[in-house]
């Protein structure tokens, strides 16, 4: 008996080029990660910073240690899966139980800062040319201020009185330098630096730093601490009077003056309410200050979906059209695709490959390009469909209103989706037909079955066994077919009904949810996330029931 030699595979020592390539790639990755971590630190996002550091250390440990080859291949995929799938799903699920939206897009500290930034009225009086500075001893932010009335130079830190700086302890720069084609000697001058302070360039500030300098306020009237100066453009500071005062210990805002818009009166106290607003005395039904924060609201978003009167009527209409759109799209594309597949599956037909290639062209083109082409073809006044196919007068505003009225727009969406979808059904039914044994057809013919009986009793049941799961998947896809609806009609034409929500005649649930999240009267991410969860549950339930029922087809056959 011949002896078989088995060669033992040994791990080879990495080459110098391989080591350098690994270190170079890892170095670039680390540099990008460290830059991101520095940005997170600048924005004081400590949790995200900690997670990023841990991930960076784990990645370096995986790729710098010996062995662990499977982990080195799996690590990138697992990392991207966690970031782009798991995190997104968990965050969306959490958001559904919060009031996250345009008025509640940050934490409470940001809301307090936003209210403080807006709680003042501009006064007439002396203004100042300023430079942004930081104290070398305390690190406190401040303004280096040059009076535009008498040229005196002051420095002031946040919520502290201005202090006059003596000559010789500051440097001046001409205001017209690099701006105007004038004699610099004749320009007005303003202080640009001072002893004990470091000048900060506005363009070097992070968004967090810009917000802090925007909220900075320096007192200028020793007799009235409510009067100070603020700057929004970091060049000129104007005198303002505070209208609200925040008490950090009590966590309340107190009105110092009457509001110009009647929102509050002097002496009113605003306390945090459960809906993420500062409200008068903390009463949920009372007046609120602009600027809220994100809070957990439990099942309030789901309750709103079923109880909001403004939402109920458009929602019923959208749900009905969504089911109609998904069902009719699957039905029409399947029927047309099946008919073409039967036609091109005939044994005596010549040039079948060419015909089949032509049939799949609509499926081969990107859907978003086809949608834009169809928008032009369906133009009311000069579109190809109206002026050529229907023979209507070009430029006539009375032509058939494709995309402009609800029912024609729905018909247009179905027709365009039929054009885009039938090649897919043609492909899968062609494959299914070719998998049916020819002996079954021959046996049916011998038994005297007609062509219709052969199709209804033999071919169709066998087809459904193989393509029923694909039909269910197609229904689920079209139930959330955002692309064709949004690109073709943007959900319009707009509904003329009286509602606070942006809803149109061709909106399906996913486009309606998109409008709730990103357009309309205000972004409401919490409500949109709650809708997304319900959409998932509906699709999952329909798919589960449908898949169970398709098993019965196997028993029938």
The pLDDT value recorded for residue 3 is 52
* Residues 402 and 462 sit within 8 Å (Cβ to Cβ): no
As beta bridge partners, residue 245 has 254
* Residues 458 and 440 sit within 8 Å (Cβ to Cβ): yes
Phi–psi pair at 170, nearest 5 degrees: -145, 160
Residue extents of the structural domains in the chain? 16-95, 110-242, 307-556
**84 DSSP assignment:** I
Q: 469: which 2 tokens? A: 């799961």
Q: Give the N- to C-terminal CA distance of the chain in Å, as an integer.
A: 53
Angle (CA) 304-309-314 rounded to 5° is 95
- Which residue in this structure is represented by tokens 């885009």? 420
Q: 22: which 2 tokens? A: 């690994």
**Is the domain defined by 307-556 classed in CATH 1.10.3720.10?**
yes
d(CA 417, CA 413) in angstroms, rounded, equals 6
d(CA 100, CA 111) in angstroms, rounded, equals 13
The pLDDT value recorded for residue 528 is 92
d(CA 131, CA 126) in angstroms, rounded, equals 17
Instruction: Tell me the pTM.
Output: 0.76
**Three-class secondary structure of residue 133 per DSSP:** strand
The pLDDT value recorded for residue 407 is 93
Return the closest-CA partner of residue 136 out of 159, 157, 167, 161. 157
Return the closest-CA partner of residue 491 out of 503, 499, 479. 503
Q: 210: which 2 tokens? A: 């810009």
Q: 67: which 2 tokens? A: 């062995």
**203 DSSP assignment:** G
DSSP-H helix ranges across 188-234: 207-215
d(CA 79, CA 546) in angstroms, rounded, equals 34
As beta bridge partners, residue 296 has 98
Say how far residue 313 (Cα) sits from the centre of its chain: 26
d(CA 412, CA 406) in angstroms, rounded, equals 10
List of residues 6+ apart from 17 with CB closer than 8 A: none
**82 DSSP assignment:** I
**Three-class secondary structure of residue 233 per DSSP:** coil
* Residues 241 and 255 sit within 8 Å (Cβ to Cβ): no
DSSP-H helix ranges across 435-481: 438-446, 451-454, 460-479
**Helix %, strand %, coil % for the chain, to 5?**
50, 15, 35
Environment class of 258 (CB within 10 Å of its CB; exposed 0-12, middle 13-18, buried 19+): middle
**456 DSSP assignment:** I
Relative to beta strand 218-219, strand 170-174 is unpaired
The pLDDT value recorded for residue 6 is 47
The pLDDT value recorded for residue 14 is 67
**Three-class secondary structure of residue 115 per DSSP:** helix
The pLDDT value recorded for residue 508 is 94
Q: 500: which 2 tokens? A: 């606070």
The pLDDT value recorded for residue 188 is 64
3-state SS record for 246-290 = EECCCCEEEECCCCCCCCCCCCCEEEECCCCCEEECCCCCCCECC
- Which residue in this structure is represented by tokens 């710098």? 64
Full pLDDT tens readout for the chain, 557 residues: 445 444 444 445 667 787 888 888 889 989 999 999 998 888 778 888 999 999 999 999 998 888 788 888 888 889 889 888 898 889 989 999 999 988 888 889 889 988 888 888 888 888 999 999 999 999 999 999 999 888 899 999 988 899 999 888 999 887 654 444 444 454 567 889 999 999 999 888 888 788 888 888 899 888 888 889 988 889 899 999 888 988 989 999 999 888 777 778 889 999 999 889 999 999 988 999 988 999 999 999 999 998 888 888 888 899 999 999 999 999 999 999 999 988 888 777 788 788 888 888 888 888 888 899 999 999 999 999 999 999 998 988 889 999 999 999 999 999 999 999 999 999 999 888 888 887 777 787 777 777 788 777 888 888 888 888 889 889 999 999 999 999 999 888 886 556 778 888 999 999 999 999 887 567 889 999 999 999 999 888 988 888 777 766 555 55
Return the closest-CA partner of residue 467 out of 417, 415, 430. 430
For the chain, give the longest Cα–Cα distance.
Answer: 114
């Amino acid at each position: 008996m011949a002896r078989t030699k088995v060669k033992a595979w040994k791990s080879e020592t990495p080459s110098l080029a391989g080591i350098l390539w690994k270190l170079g790639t890892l170095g670039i990755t680390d540099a990008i990660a460290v830059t991101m971590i520095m940005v997170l630190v600048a924005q004081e996002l400590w949790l995200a910073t900690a997670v990023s550091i841990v991930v960076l250390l784990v990645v370096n440990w995986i790729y710098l240690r010996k062995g662990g080859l499977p982990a080195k291949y799996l690590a990138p995929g697992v990392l991207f899966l966690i970031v782009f799938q798991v995190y997104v799903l968990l965050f969306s699920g959490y958001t559904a139980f919060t009031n996250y939206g345009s008025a509640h897009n940050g934490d409470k500290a940001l809301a307090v800062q936003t209210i403080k930034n807006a709680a003042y009225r501009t006064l007439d009086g002396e203004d100042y040319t300023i430079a942004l500075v930081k104290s070398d001893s305390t690190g406190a932010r401040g303004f280096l201020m040059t009076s535009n009335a008498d040229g005196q130079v002051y420095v002031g830190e946040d919520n502290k009185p201005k202090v006059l700086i003596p000559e010789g302890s500051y440097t001046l720069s001409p205001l017209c330098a690099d701006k105007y084609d004038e004699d610099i000697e004749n320009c007005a001058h303003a202080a640009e630096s001072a002893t004990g302070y470091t000048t900060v360039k506005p363009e070097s500030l992070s968004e967090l730093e810009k917000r802090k300098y925007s909220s900075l306020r320096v007192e200028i009237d020793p007799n009235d601490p409510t009067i100070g100066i603020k700057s929004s453009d970091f060049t000129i500071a104007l005198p303002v009077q505070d209208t609200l005062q925040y008490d950090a210990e009590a966590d309340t805002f107190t009105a110092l003056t009457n509001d110009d818009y009647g929102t509050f009166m002097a002496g009113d106290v605003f306390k945090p309410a459960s809906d993420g607003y500062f409200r008068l005395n903390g009463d949920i039904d009372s007046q609120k200050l602009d600027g809220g924060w994100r809070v957990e609201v439990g099942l309030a978003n789901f309750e709103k979906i079923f109880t909001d009167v403004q939402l109920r009527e458009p929602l019923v209409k959208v749900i009905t059209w969504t089911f109609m759109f998904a069902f009719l799209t699957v039905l029409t594309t399947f029927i047309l695709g099946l008919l073409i597949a039967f036609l091109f599956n005939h044994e005596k037909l010549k040039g079948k490959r060419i015909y089949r290639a032509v049939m799949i062209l609509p499926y081969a083109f990107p859907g978003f390009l086809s949608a834009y082409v169809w928008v032009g073809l369906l133009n009311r006044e000069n579109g190809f469909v109206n002026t050529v196919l229907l023979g209507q007068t070009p430029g006539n505003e009375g032509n058939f209103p494709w995309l402009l009225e609800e029912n024609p727009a729905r018909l247009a969406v179905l027709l365009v989706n039929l054009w885009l979808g039938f090649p897919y059904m043609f492909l899968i039914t062609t494959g299914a037909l070719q998998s049916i044994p020819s002996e079954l057809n021959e046996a049916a013919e011998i038994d005297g079955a007609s062509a219709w009986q052969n199709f209804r009793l033999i071919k169709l049941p066998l087809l459904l066994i193989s393509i029923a799961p694909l039909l269910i998947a197609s229904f689920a896809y079209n139930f959330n077919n955002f692309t064709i609806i949004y690109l073709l009609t943007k959900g319009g034409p707009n509904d003329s009904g009286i509602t606070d929500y942006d809803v149109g005649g061709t909106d399906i649930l996913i486009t309606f949810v998109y409008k709730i999240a990103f357009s309309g009267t205000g972004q409401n991410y919490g409500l949109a996330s709650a809708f997304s969860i319900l959409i998932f549950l509906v699709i999952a339930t329909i798919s589960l029931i449908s898949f169970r029922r398709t098993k019965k087809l196997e028993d029938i056959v």
